């Protein structure tokens, strides 16, 4: 019997795609070459081997290579706590405000101009005044995260609520929906996809502002380790913390995505 004709996508390739690995491979070889031949001293760029050892030691503390040995979990926990708190604040305020702005002219006129005026000040520009208000430390960091993450969350939630088709609104009203029903049964689910995108962006921004907040002098946290290591001349620790932030940030993003997959309808439009 002949093979049935299908218009499906071609079967997934069995062998690994090598192309994405070319650039990292080249970078790594350059790194090895530069440090191995002694062109760059260790205090500017440590060798890859040393970086890996430091990373392992930073997490497990096997070899007691430096003062940061085995402290990863403590610092990561401190950072995560700040991100979680700041991001939660931003989401709790940003999602309802954004959705209301998107579906009600009145809220839009009330909120939108002010929000966008405040948004014109770059997040970093809030650092000095935050230090005056909240002092150096965790509260400033959480404030900066909440403020910076609020904007993408708000803007995208508003976009989601505005993407509601007028026909859905008519259909819901015709089936007996009150204004309140309309918000919870149409605006909210229809705007959920865009809101979820906003939350992801907000989480990314949270990690950026975490580092900014922690650079200013908190005793713990991944950003604090970075700054501390710079003063102690531990370049490899700076690199390892950068990597750690990337990994933890990506993990939190994946966690959020997994959460959305449970909540969002399987057939988004």
Q: Which residues bind other proteins (CB under 8 A)?
A: 165, 167-168, 170-177, 181, 185-186, 189-190, 192, 265-269
We find the least distance from the C-beta atom of residue 177 to other proteins, in angstroms, to be 6
Nearer to other proteins, 42 or 181 (CB): 181
Nearer to other proteins, 14 or 179 (CB): 179
Nearer to other proteins, 48 or 189 (CB): 189
We find the least distance from the C-beta atom of residue 194 to other proteins, in angstroms, to be 13
Are the CB atoms for 262 and 74 separated by under 8 Å?
Answer: no
We find the least distance from the C-beta atom of residue 267 to other proteins, in angstroms, to be 4
CA 10 from chain centre, in angstroms, equals 34
We find the least distance from the C-beta atom of residue 182 to other proteins, in angstroms, to be 10
Nearer to other proteins, 170 or 250 (CB): 170
- Percent helix, strand, coil in the chain, to 5, is 75, 0, 25
Q: Where are the alpha helices (DSSP H) in 61-103?
A: 72-103
Cβ-in-10-Å burial (0-12, 13-18, 19+) of 193 comes to: middle
Are the CB atoms for 159 and 108 separated by under 8 Å?
Answer: no
Secondary structure of residue 85 in the 3-state scheme: helix
We find the least distance from the C-beta atom of residue 167 to other proteins, in angstroms, to be 5
Tokens, residue 40: 């760059």
Nearer to other proteins, 136 or 171 (CB): 171
Tokens, residue 255: 């966690």
């Amino acid at each position: 019997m002949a093979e049935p004709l299908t218009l499906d996508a071609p079967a997934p390739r069995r062998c690994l795609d090598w192309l994405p690995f070319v650039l990292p491979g080249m970078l790594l070889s350059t790194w090895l070459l530069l440090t191995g031949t002694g062109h760059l001293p260790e205090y500017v760029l440590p060798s890859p081997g040393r970086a890996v050892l430091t990373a392992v030691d930073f997490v497990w503390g096997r070899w007691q290579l430096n003062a940061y040995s085995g402290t990863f979990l403590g610092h990561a926990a401190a950072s995560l706590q700040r991100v979680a708190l700041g991001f939660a604040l931003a989401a709790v305020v940003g999602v309802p405000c954004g959705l209301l702005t998107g579906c009600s002219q009145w809220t839009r006129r009330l909120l939108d101009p002010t929000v966008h005026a405040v948004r014109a000040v770059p997040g970093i520009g809030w650092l000095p005044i935050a230090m005056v208000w909240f002092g150096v430390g965790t509260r400033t960091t959480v404030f900066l995260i909440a403020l910076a993450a609020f904007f993408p969350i708000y803007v995208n939630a508003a976009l989601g609520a505005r993407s509601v088709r007028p026909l859905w609104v008519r259909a819901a009203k015709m089936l007996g929906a009150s204004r309140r029903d309309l918000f919870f049964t149409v605006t909210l689910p229809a705007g959920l996809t865009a809101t979820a995108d906003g939350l992801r962006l907000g989480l990314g921004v949270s990690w950026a502002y975490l580092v900014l907040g922690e650079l200013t002098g908190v005793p713990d946290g991944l950003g604090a380790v970075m700054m501390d290591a710079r003063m102690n001349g531990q370049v490899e620790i700076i690199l390892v913390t950068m990597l750690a932030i990337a990994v933890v940030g990506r993990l939190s993003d994946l966690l959020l995505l997994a959460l959305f997959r449970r909540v969002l309808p399987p057939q988004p439009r």
